Amino acid sequence: CLAVGVLAGLSWWTGVGPLAFTSGSAPHATRPGDIPSCGPFWRVVGSPNPSKDYNELHALAATSSEDVWAVGTFGAEEYALTLIEHWDGARWSHVQSPSVSDYSNHLYGVSAVAKDDAWAVGASHRGTDAWHTLAMRWDGAKWSIITTPNVASISALNAVASLSANDVWAVGESSTGNKGKGSQTLIEHWDGSAWSIVPSPNGSQNSALSTVVAIAKDDVWAAGSYTDKSGNLARTLFVHWDGRAWKIWPNEGAGAIWSATAVSKNDIWAVGNNGPQAVIMHWNGTLWTAAPGPASSAKSNALNSVTSANANDVWAVGSQSINGADQTLAIHWDGAKWLAVPNPSINNYVDTLNATVARSNQDVWAAGSSIADAHGTNLGLVQRYSNPCR
């Protein structure tokens, strides 16, 4: 399985900027009660919330319809714990996972190649000036932390992609400055016995990688952003592994890429944002080009993750502003155009989807979080696109 990139650390110091599609009909919130009991629709699926205050899911991976992983964080921000949940075909359960003691722990990416082989990556931090890479592996019985190298006082892994048990890539960023100033790309590789740092290129400055897609041993893409020499203009960053070295792939995109998915080596989608504008980009085997999103009059939209079942069935998820509140958003590529698809929100404060993964065109998962009340209680949010009556 190819890992699906996520809105990782949300590049852990900047967060996610608002996105806006072109103008169209006024958006309205969809509620679970608006969804028919039968037919292919997005529906909310119950999931555990181990903390009464804060639970958030950042990434998804699946090897089958009975083996789906979701990872994130829960607890208090000062000493947050890693959060891992699993779908066994019938229900979601909370799976015990290790955390670094006396640190705040966050998982931003997950990838799986078999029922007994999965990776989750992220970072553990103490305050804003000490961040360390974090990686853990599932062996079929338990999750264990595996040592990963750090190149600077601030180092984080935002996404992971597995080709095999002995060929895994993780990407992120590092910095010696406060809150990520002067950040550099960070790429690490697992060869079956240890993680090692692989030299990676950077843009003009403030470079970071948020997603990675592994197609073959000599065909791996990572994407994120950098800023131009002025430090004010964000540019999309695409780097490619050809089996020997990572190289920057020139493109004309502006903004940041948060997630990418590959249908094939000549058909790759990436989503992100450029200030108040959505970014959807496509690779045709030769060029990365911008693609228009669906029409909407929402004041802001966020696309945080993208996944694909086939060339004519690609999903991107995130959030959109409706009546001053963020509500869930799902859009679909049918082979010709992107269209918005009804997607239920459960609360009126902030509902957002951070990750998505497709097993087939009738079995797609999305995950994120929902703020349930004015006190800021944060609950995990899981949805599934399927037809339960089929």
Please check whether residue 245 is in contact with residue 234, taking contact to mean a CB–CB distance below 8 angstroms. no
Please give the biggest Cα pair distance in the chain: 56
Order of strands, sheet of 81-87, starting from the edge strand that comes earlier in the sequence = 55-64, 67-74, 81-87, 92-95
Please check whether residue 22 is in contact with residue 360, taking contact to mean a CB–CB distance below 8 angstroms. no
Give percent of the chain with pLDDT exceeding 90.
Answer: 77
What is the mean pLDDT of the segment spanning 15-42? 67
Secondary structure of residue 251 in the 3-state scheme: coil
What is the mean pLDDT of the segment spanning 245-252? 95
* Residue range 249-305, pLDDT digits in tens: 999 898 999 999 999 999 999 999 887 778 999 999 999 999 998 877 677 888 999
Give the containing element (helix H, strand E) for 138.
strand 130-138
Give residues with Cβ within 8 angstroms of 343, minimum separation 6: 30, 42, 317, 328, 329, 330, 353, 366, 383
Q: Return d(Cα 74, Cα 56) in angstroms, integer.
A: 6
Return the pLDDT at 17: 31
pTM, to two decimals? 0.92
Q: Return the ∠ at Cα 387 (arms to 386 and 390), rounded to 5°.
A: 135
Written as one string, the DSSP assignment of 89-124 is SS-EEEE-----TTSEEEEEEEEEEETTEEEEEEEE
Return the pLDDT at 182: 84
Query: Which of the pair, 382 or 14, is modelled with greater confidence?
Result: 382
**Among 256, 218, 219, 220, which Cα is nearest to 237's?**
256
Q: Return d(Cα 133, Cα 8) in angstroms, integer.
A: 13
Please check whether residue 49 is in contact with residue 379, taking contact to mean a CB–CB distance below 8 angstroms. yes
* Residue range 38-80, pLDDT digits in tens: 999 999 999 999 999 999 999 999 999 999 999 999 998 778 9
Phi and psi based region of residue 74 (left: phi greater than 0; alpha: psi -120 to 50; beta: remaining): beta
Phi and psi based region of residue 293 (left: phi greater than 0; alpha: psi -120 to 50; beta: remaining): beta
- Is a pLDDT exceeding 60 seen at residue 13? no
* Residue range 89-117, pLDDT digits in tens: 999 999 999 999 999 999 999 999 999 99
Phi and psi based region of residue 231 (left: phi greater than 0; alpha: psi -120 to 50; beta: remaining): left
Query: Which of the pair, 385 or 177, is modelled with greater confidence?
Result: 385
Return the pLDDT at 178: 61
Return the pLDDT at 59: 98
Q: Show the beta-strand stretches assigned E in 192-245.
A: 195-197, 205-216, 219-227, 234-241
What is the mean pLDDT of the segment spanning 16-36? 61
- Is a pLDDT exceeding 90 seen at residue 176? no
- Is a pLDDT exceeding 50 seen at residue 127? yes
Tokens of 297: 């009059």
Return the pLDDT at 232: 83
Secondary structure of residue 180 in the 3-state scheme: helix
Mean pLDDT of the chain: 90
* Residue range 140-168, pLDDT digits in tens: 999 999 999 999 999 999 999 999 999 99
